[in-house]
Amino acid sequence: MKTKTLLTTVLIAVAGFSLSSCKDSETGSSAEVKNPASAELQKYFTDQEIDGAQDIHIARTTAKPGDEITLKGEVMGRENVFVDGRAAFVLGDPKKLTTCDKMGEDDHCPTPWDACCDSKELKSVSLASIQIVGEDGRVLKSGLKGVNGMKEISNIVVSGIVAENSTAENFIVNAEQIFVTDK
């Protein structure tokens, strides 16, 4: 009985090793495997500069739902600037907001992109929620962090349509093109 149990254990271990070896040789290590969702998102990114970009604090004063708009800014303004599992992020206006990494030697902030030293009132007029929606009008279920080099404090130009549910308190843009200027 002990021999049969030992033999079964060895066979299971060898089979498991063989399967993982095949997987590694076919697809590469898990670190090299690309996120298939990022391929879906790539069509929204461009390597060409987008002209006519406005600062967020200026665009917010005149833009209304349905308007075509082009904004420039940095991925900043909140501690969590990317929405987990969704194609959405926060774009901040660097002409109004200051990320902690730009505050000199006194910066000890673990999340410099949150612009924690700026007031809530200043943030309310200097931020835009950027999202990519599908044909059904819902935000795509794919995270944007890392796609096309996008990360916290990346400089971004985004062109899109002001969302129908955008308000003075929550400025939302449905992105059609995104240019990451500092990959």
pLDDT score at 172: 98
Report the run of H or E that residue 91 belongs to, with start and end. Answer: strand 88-92
Digit-coded pLDDT (tens) for 81-93: 999 999 999 999 9
pTM for the full predicted model = 0.78
Mean predicted confidence (pLDDT) in 67-95: 97
122: confidence class by pLDDT, cuts 50, 70, 90: very high
Digit-coded pLDDT (tens) for 136-170: 999 999 999 999 999 999 999 999 999 999 998 99
- Evaluate whether 52 touches 67 at the Cβ level (below 8 Å): no
Mean predicted confidence (pLDDT) in 107-122: 87
Q: Which residues are CB-neighbours of 143 under 8 A, at least 6 positions away?
A: 37, 82, 83, 84, 85, 86, 87
- Say how far apart CA 138 and CA 56 lie, in whole Å: 23
Q: Name the nearest CA neighbour of 97 among 62, 132, 128, 65.
A: 128
**Average pLDDT, rounded, for the chain:** 82
Would strands 88-92 and 54-55 be described as parallel, antiparallel, or unpaired?
Answer: unpaired
